[in-house]
Structure 1
Amino acid sequence: MDFGDRKIIHVDMDAFYASVEQHDNPELRGKPLAVGGGLYGVVAAASYEARKFGVRSAMPGKLALEKCPHLIVVKPKFQRYKEISQQIRSIFHEYTDLVEPLSLDEAYLDVTENKKNIESANDIAREIRRKIFEQTGLTASAGISVNKFLAKVASDYNKPNGQKTIHPTQVLEFMDDLPIEKFYGIGKVTANRMHELHIFKGSDLKKKTLEELISLFGKSGNYYYNVVRGIHNSEVKPHRIQKSVAVEETFWENLLDEEAVFEQLKIISEELDTRLGKKKIRGKTLTLKIKYKDFTQYTRSTTWDGYFNNAEDFWLTAKKLWQLRPFDKPVRLLGLSLSNLNTHAKKQVSVQLKIPFKD
């Protein structure tokens, strides 16, 4: 099979938020560290030292402390993470303008044609990782292959501070041997279902026909059928139009009364308005997101005939949406998102998480 001549790199920073904290505070180096968490929060990132105890991102802070009683918990400093992320992206753009950021700490690069005319994508990835370390003191891992799916999977292979290349001649053999749970886009629930169907690695998945996979997994079946054969034609998209804009906050201490909820909704409304104002974006649909102490989640939306105009509109509407559901348990997260925008939106959802669930 001909996989074409594309050269795609996926760069992923190693335990980014935690590594920044350890870099900025030498006393934290070599110690189990969680960014976010505590008794009532959620872990945003965990150092590799903490991961040895089973601490992971998106884990309730209380559970993280049970797994690692001597865990050090620090509040996130997102302005600092954003500052370093911009330094890293500047390095990417020394090689190519085809850079598609996925978050503050990872991005795809298409280096098929690059600014330095370096033939080997492997060499480019090695140079980029070296420059990142020299300029920020942080390590990154990279995956290199012929498409985004393979590059993403490869970047996780030699973490931390490593890289892996999947050459076109190795693609089919690599996919045959790849455990199902390592497939990008297959989560724990789907992996467990595949295991029940005796699908444990790529070669097992490849035995299923397209019709069987669509019958079992719906539209995702088409994706599974293609990627297991090394087919993933999505291009690196440096400019993506936003489909929605959202602000969420996970609280260090659960909100126990309605007055506190309204106060936080006002802050979130103002933050959402600021973000929209910078980009001159307006929208017609506002969605309120609530996550409770027990991790149950609730959303409610309303759509206006015209556009929402300001933070006051967001706040008053959010309060009305809030009152559609009884306040019967503590709240750990609130979020507001605006969609149905005055843009020709296609794919990207931009979310500014105060404590994003990121590995």
Structure 2
Amino acid sequence: MSGVANGAPTLLRHLSIAVVVGVVVVCATYQISPFRNYQLATVAAYLCVLPGLILLTGFNGQISLGHGALMAAGAYPVALTQARLGGDQWWHLPVSVLTGVLAAVVLGAVIGVAAARLHGPYLAGATLAVAAAVPAVTTTFDGVFGGDAGLSFALAPAPSSLGAYFPFERWQAWIALLGAGITMLLLANLARGRFGRTLRAVRDDEVAASLAGIHVGRLRVLAFVVSAAGAGLGGALLAVLAQSVSPGAYGLTLSLNLMLAIVLGGLGGLRGALWGAVTLVALQPLADAVSGWLEVGAAAQQRLEGTLPLAVFGLALIVVTTTAPGGLDALVTRATRRLRGAVRR
């Protein structure tokens, strides 16, 4: 009973924060351009993936380099279901997204069963192989998945009640923000509750956790399933934003960038997912700005397009982990505390 009593205030507090933040962000979508709304929607899509990855890696100690494959498992069913249904009715989209999440959960359960028997670099290598297998699967079954070209699909427009000239990018941002809000709310409550404490206990000492009555293997599989659900939702939302899916969008680079993002944002709490998501979206514009500042030739700039974003990301990761081992979240928290202390003085 005490656990329920303690959990209710936590849920209400998180729900209140989610409502306030949601209202503020939705109001902000009216003040920014369509392109910024699209970027905001992309941040929200990553906010569905990264908290689950932090829960898996930071809380439970399982290193996954294959979350790009889980995102693909959530994205391709959206394209297939939308094409099957036609995509012209409002209820087609939630059905398609739910189908993608379920597909990612099934794949996550399969990987989780194998992950329960692997540790450290062996687990990282196994999940890395899963991420590398996505292009091979789409090429082998190109009649279903469209091969390297991928699949395109149609989406129903924004509801007519929002107005005839309601920007479609704002509608996409609302959809993605809803998904991110639900994900963050659910995972925040899981992390602060008994499930989160059990994950940390297994991470710190599996033997002691097992002696305390925790079924370690079952918990590791469950952690992978929860993380896969968030990855599937994020992949489905990215597909909705692009209205297409292709193996290049969910390849090995994406899996590595997701892991770099949570390390950069901070593995100590779910707030690090926000900084990681913003970094992922800002990475390409920042790399383009650096490329323009260098004023190199067209041939050199073309070579830099693929490597410069990763180099910028790596440099930022080195700087942040050197100055703040806890990531950007720890850096911001420390700066906020100093500011509060200065204000009090």
State the TM-score, normalized to the length of structure 1. Answer: 0.24
Structure showing greater Rg: 1
Q: Which structure: greater helix fraction?
A: 2
Q: Which structure: greater strand fraction?
A: 1
State the TM-score, normalized to the length of structure 2. Answer: 0.24
Q: Which protein, 1 or 2, shows the higher relative CO under an 8 Å CA cutoff with sep ≥ 6?
A: 2
